């Protein structure tokens, strides 16, 4: 079920969902599209292109983590750990910028971690982006041979490295990304949605895959207090999929991941703003009433 399906990304997202084998190999795929009456013509166009999840995708233009906080209070039949905010597309956008500026291909990089209260303040930690590098292990016999030897000089190996050593020498990636987004908006009349669609489909592939792997992704989850993030606050952080004793799955923080490469005061500022916004969400009272937020002087 996709709520807000009139968004520009949905014509690209729906076909990708249908082609996600982890979905249709499990229980099949039935896609329900919902939006306001004035956008029905967009939904009809999507249905014309594709004819049909055990889940809900809320397509939001506003602060994502804020909306997840509200859903946690309204959707009481689901555990809070089952409602998450997709965040890796922020990192995917930055990966594209760096791959282009450094001359590498995208396959050499892993998505950088995304921290923050998505839609209000987030930080893409490009310094802790993973890069796959190839190197040669020297062959002693070849090195001691004559210059005309045809022996290979080494055995090719691969290793994973942090992106620190390159990112310090590059221009401001956020400015580059802003320029690129403005250009796309000017050329096609809307923002580029490929990264958002990919982030959603990658998340669903991991969730519905038969075997749980060791992938670490960024996701806005109901915090358990890890990384110094207050418990119960929806905040994007590095997570992995864990299988519980009853065989259910849950996204939990990957606490071995390094803290973001930023002054602790800046990180605390991200938390303070998120806490401030969360406190302004009205509280539902028993009996259906609503109690507004308390404003403290």
pLDDT in tens, 72-119: 888 888 888 888 999 888 888 777 777 666 666 666 677 888 999 998
Are residues 16 and 100 both part of a single domain? yes
Is 180 among the domain residues? Answer: no
Taking only the tens place, the pLDDT of each residue in 25-38 is 666 777 778 887 77
Quick one: 134 and 279 in the same domain?
Answer: no
CA distance 59 to 9: 9
In a domain, residue 101? The reply is yes
Please indicate, yes or no, if residue 136 is contained in any of the structural domains.
yes
Same domain, 152 and 120: no
Inside any domain, residue 205? yes
The answer to whether residues 112 and 128 touch, using CB atoms and an 8 Å cutoff, is: yes
As a whole number of angstroms, the distance between CA 109 and CA 100 comes to 12
What residues of the chain score a pLDDT lower than 70?
8, 24-27, 46-55, 57-62, 99-108, 132-193, 282-297
What's the pLDDT at 223?
94
pLDDT of residue 297: 38
32 falls within a domain: yes
Are both 102 and 203 inside the same structural domain?
yes
Same domain, yes or no: 215 and 104: yes
Shared domain check, 283 and 230 = yes
> Does residue 24 sit within a domain?
yes
**Does the predicted model carry a pTM greater than 0.75?**
no
**Can you give the residue range of the structural domain that contains 155?**
130-163
Same domain, 48 and 116: yes
296, part of any domain: no
One domain for residues 207 and 270: yes
143 and 203 housed in the same domain: no
Could you tell me if 134 and 277 lie in one domain?
no
pLDDT, position 241: 92
DSSP string computed for 30-83: ---EE--GGGHHHHHHHHHH-----S-EE--SS-HHHHHHHHHHH-TTS-GGG-
- Clarify whether residues 23 and 113 are in a common domain: yes
């Amino acid at each position: 079920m996709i709520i807000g399906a009139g968004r520009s990304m949905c014509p690209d997202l729906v076909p990708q969902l249908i082609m996600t084998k982890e979905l249709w190999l499990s229980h099949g795929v039935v896609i329900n599209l919902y939006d306001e009456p004035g956008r029905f013509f967009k939904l009809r166009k999507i249905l014309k292109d594709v004819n049909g999840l055990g889940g809900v995708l809320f397509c939001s233009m506003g602060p994502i983590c804020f909306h997840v906080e509200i859903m946690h209070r309204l959707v009481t039949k689901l555990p809070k750990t089952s409602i998450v905010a997709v965040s890796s597309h922020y990192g995917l956008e930055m990966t594209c910028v760096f791959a282009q500026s450094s001359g590498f291909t995208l396959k050499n990089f892993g998505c950088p971690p995304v921290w923050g209260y998505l839609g209000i303040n987030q930080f893409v930690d490009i310094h802790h982006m993973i890069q796959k590098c190839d190197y040669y292990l020297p062959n002693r016999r070849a090195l001691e041979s004559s210059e005309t030897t045809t022996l290979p000089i080494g055995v090719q190996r691969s290793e994973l490295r942090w992106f620190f050593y390159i990112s310090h020498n590059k221009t401001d990636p956020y400015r580059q990304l802003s320029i690129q987004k403005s250009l796309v908006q000017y050329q096609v009349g809307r923002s580029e949605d490929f990264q958002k669609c990919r982030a959603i489909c990658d998340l669903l592939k991991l969730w519905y895959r038969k075997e749980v792997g060791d992938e670490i992704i960024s996701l806005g989850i109901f915090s358990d207090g890890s990384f110094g993030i207050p418990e119960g606050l929806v905040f994007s952080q590095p997570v992995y999929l864990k299988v519980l004793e009853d065989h259910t799955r849950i996204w939990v923080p990957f606490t071995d991941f390094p803290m973001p490469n930023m002054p602790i005061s800046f990180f605390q500022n991200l938390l303070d703003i998120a806490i401030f916004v969360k406190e302004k969400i009205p509280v539902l009272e028993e009996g259906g009433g609503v109690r507004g937020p308390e404003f403290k002087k």
